[in-house]
Amino acid sequence: MNNLTLGAVKVGDTIPDFSYDVTATTVAFGAIATRDIRPMHHDKDFAQNRNGVKDIFLNTPNLAHWFERYVTDWTGPKGRPGRMKFRMKGSVFCGDTMVFKGTVTDVSTDDKGCGWVTVDVRVDVENATMTSCEARFAVPTGGSDNPWARKGDDWQP
Amino acid sequence: MSDLPGIVESWIGQRRHEEDGEFDVERGFVLTGCSSVENGNPLYWDEKVANEISGGWIAPPTMISVWCRPHFWAPYRDEEGLALRTHFDLKERLDCPEAIMSADELIFYEPVRMGERVKQYQILQSVTGPKTTKLGTGRFWNIQVGYENMKGDLLVREEIAGFGYKKEG
């Protein structure tokens, strides 16, 4: 189990790439798991003939969970999301291989002593970015620190 | 002077669609969400880890919309339940049959815990004048969604940017 601490991170560090082959099951299961029954996420005929796209595609809430999972695989369970800002440029379709990539752009400690890392994350398909995400996660400043224990004024996402 | 319909103008800055989620946050659905993205974070699978780190079971923060999305069908509703109703209101009132989301920011506050009921509200923040892009002619809009638990603790604030449009031709 990873347990990333602030001192182990520096600007420019990269998170190992994560590649995943997206199937119809990936898309439909992701839609069901986010309770999204809109047809473009399970009905290929609708996606092609109504939306004019090549196939069914991942929905945004499920894609957000893929991003969270990618970052917390790196930080370990004490990594706590503060904010995630997504820019959608294209869709991830059934049949695509999506590749998550991440680079650390900032490492800091706020005035409450909370340690923060900012990571530029993106999901690429065939080297084109479909969605980018600026992810700000709190990580422990030391072995006994736990960002999840912060509340009220001590948590400034 | 704004060229927006008066009804749309009146929505800007106002809390609308304040609604309670239709079921409690529960672990079965958390695990379904984690399974869908193969999220093996022990915070969601190992009770000892959850107790030590987050003081008990919590939900992945990015799952927030799950707890407020209306059931697709329910016996007490005559029409399909819609998430983010402000977005659909704008499509209708501004005659924009098509729409895309171009940006979405999630800011996470208190963790979402099992057994909570999540409520939400939506605030239309801005709507631009007509713009033409490669998709068609329409308007950009920004909507804020606030998610709270029944104690009134802020859980997540979401800022969504959309573009509603008509295809050319």
Report the complex ipTM: 0.96
> B104, A29: Cβ pair inside 8 Å?
no
- A113 sits in the region (left: phi over 0; alpha: psi -120 to 50; else beta) called left
Residue B113 included in any domain = yes
The arithmetic mean of pLDDT across residues A117-145, rounded, is 97
Tokens of B60: 């992945």
Q: Is the Cα dihedral B119, B123, A33, A44 positive or negative?
A: positive
Provide the residue range defining the domain that includes B68: 6-166
Residues contacting residue B163 through CB under 8 Å, at least 6 positions apart: B99, B100, B102, B131, B133, B135, B138, B139, B140, B141
Of residues B99 and A133, more confidence is placed in A133
Residue B97 included in any domain = yes
Going by pLDDT thresholds of 50, 70 and 90, the confidence category of residue B169 is low
CATH number of the domain bearing residue A24: 3.10.129.10
Residue A156 included in any domain = no
Going by pLDDT thresholds of 50, 70 and 90, the confidence category of residue B98 is confident
> What was the pLDDT predicted at B1?
62
Count up the domains in chain A and report the number.
1
Cβ B17 vs Cβ B85: under 8 Å: yes
Residue B23 included in any domain = yes
Instruction: Write out chain B residues lying below 8 Å of A151, CB-based.
Output: 110
Helix (H, G, I), strand (E, B) or coil at A93: strand
Percent of chain B with pLDDT over 90: 85
**Does B31 reach chain A within 8 Å, measured CB to CB?**
no
Count up the domains in chain B and report the number.
1
> What was the pLDDT predicted at B79?
82
Identify the closest residue of chain A to B33 by CA–CA distance: A33
The arithmetic mean of pLDDT across residues A69-96, rounded, is 97
Provide the residue range defining the domain that includes A39: 6-148
Residue A154 included in any domain = no
Residue B129 included in any domain = yes
Residue B1 included in any domain = no
Q: Dihedrals φ, ψ of B162, to 5°? A: -130, 165
**Does A24 reach chain B within 8 Å, measured CB to CB?**
no
CA distance B161 to B140: 7
* Amino acid found at A148: W
Nearest CB to B109; choose among A36, A73, A157 = A157
Cβ A123 vs Cβ A92: under 8 Å: yes
CATH number of the domain bearing residue B122: 3.10.129.10
> A157, B107: Cβ pair inside 8 Å?
yes
Cβ A3 vs Cβ A140: under 8 Å: yes
Closest-CA distance of chain B to residue A109, Å: 18
Closest-CA distance of chain A to residue B30, Å: 9
**Does the pLDDT value for residue B23 go beyond 70?**
yes
Mean pLDDT of chain B: 94
Residue A114 included in any domain = yes
> What was the pLDDT predicted at A61?
95
> What was the pLDDT predicted at A50?
85
Residue A155 included in any domain = no
Nearest CB to B37; choose among A35, A66, A86 = A66
